[in-house]
Amino acid sequence: MVSKELLGRAAESFGFEVDTLVFLSNSCNEVYRFSKNNQLYILRLSEKPPAYVKKIKAEVDWVSYLVQRGVRASLPIQTSDQQFVAVYREQDQCYIATAFRMASGRFFDKNNLQLWGPPIFNKWGETMGIMHLLTKSYTAADAAAQRDDWGTWNMDNPYLQQGRYHILLEKLKSLENTIASLPKDTQSYGLIHNDFHPYNFHIDNDDITVFDFDDSIYGWFALDIAIATTHAVWWGSPAEDRKSKNDFAKRFLDEFLTGYFKHNDLDTYWVKQIPMFMDYRNLCSYFWWLNSWDGDERRLSEFQQTAITQAINLIQSGQRFDGCDIQL
């Protein structure tokens, strides 16, 4: 947790009262809610090296571009000196602060028909379709400050080079090799959200507002669609068995792509790649746990150990992950 002094500096930068701060989460970033002039905002504090400031400036530039052209997204706000980021140092660490208008509405709820179902899936796809259409004509304001391109994992953890974990790693490398060989052009590849899942948008009546663009990269549009679908299956499938998840994935994509194609075209070749990208996203989830793992299996939760065993069994039997075994 950052110090009260640093939070006070952030409050001064963005012009709000520090006692309005409410802590929300601390995973990749430290996130707070605050109020200013009867409006709610989000403060995000990222512990990153100073060179990363350019990446965050590129992020907020793209979000601003999208909002200006009609996308419902959490708009970044400026500091008192008209900057979109504020940089602080504390105990030899660099913290980059950004602030955004808080999205109206609520998170999804798969047990509430107003917050989960075909109309939401359609609107979700429509929003992504608009974003992909707009990214085709987007040029970064600063050529030296751009988001990264998709790349392979730098996996040098020795504990993943042996035993059953090696099976996961080899499957990841195989999928990465397939993805790296795919063509790139402006009709299939551009700046994407890269994490547009159900906990990164709010639902307000018939609209959704997307936020949390800090994973945005230059990547394939089909990958962005696959990420949304994968997370929809994880958290929104009506049942946990394989058949239910595969059936749900197909129904979800039928609605999602109907909304998507209202605004952006995607060649059939790329639509057919979505299940492969879903498989890749599923596999990546294990390395979020394991990338910095110290080899002590006692440090893995029972859920993680069970999930790893199930994943290895699927890989060894030549099957895709649940939800990915669909034809498009």
Each residue of 87-110: pLDDT tens digit? 999 888 999 999 999 999 999 999
Residue type for position 130: I
Each residue of 109-164: pLDDT tens digit? 999 999 999 999 999 999 999 999 999 999 988 877 899 999 999 988 999 988 89
Each residue of 60-97: pLDDT tens digit? 999 999 999 999 999 999 999 999 999 999 888 999 99
Identify any residues that bridge with 316 across adjacent strands, giving them in sequence order: none
Q: How far apart are CA 318 and CA 328, in angstroms?
A: 19
User: Strands 93-101 and 86-90: what pairing?
Assistant: antiparallel
- pTM given for the model: 0.95
Contact 96, 67 (CB under 8 A): no
Contact 219, 150 (CB under 8 A): yes
Q: In angstroms, what CA-CA distances link 162 with 99, 152, 291, 294?
A: 43, 20, 14, 13
Helix axes 53-68, 118-135, angle to 10 degrees: 110
Q: How far apart are CA 16 and CA 87, in angstroms?
A: 17
Nearest Cα to Cα of residue 173 among 26, 283, 38, 291 = 283
- Alpha helix ranges (H) inside the chain: 4-14, 53-68, 118-135, 165-180, 221-236, 242-260, 268-271, 274-290, 302-316
In whole angstroms, what separates CA 137 from the centre of its chain? 22
Instruction: Report DSSP letters for 36-105, one per residue.
Output: ETTEEEEEEEEE--GGGHHHHHHHHHHHHHHHHTT--B--B---TTS-S-EEEEETTEEEEEEEEEPPPS
Burial class of residue 145 in the structure, from the number of CB atoms within 10 Å of its CB (0-12 exposed, 13-18 middle, 19+ buried): middle
In the 8-state DSSP scheme, what is residue 147? P
Residue 326 has pLDDT above 80, yes or no: yes
Q: In angstroms, what CA-CA distances link 33 with 29, 44, 109, 197?
A: 13, 9, 22, 20
Residue 58 has pLDDT above 90, yes or no: yes
In this structure, the number of other CB atoms found within 10 A of the CB of residue 183 comes to 10
Q: What is the pLDDT of residue 135?
A: 96
- Helix, strand or coil, per DSSP, at residue 109: coil
- Tokens (6 digits) for 91: 């105990």
Residue type for position 161: Q
Each residue of 237-281: pLDDT tens digit? 999 999 999 999 999 999 999 999 999 999 999 999 999 999 999
Each residue of 176-230: pLDDT tens digit? 999 999 999 999 999 999 999 999 999 999 899 999 999 999 999 999 999 999 9
Q: How far apart are CA 48 and CA 247, in angstroms?
A: 41
Which domains occur in the chain, in start order?
Answer: 4-101 (3.30.200.20), 118-316 (3.90.1200.10)
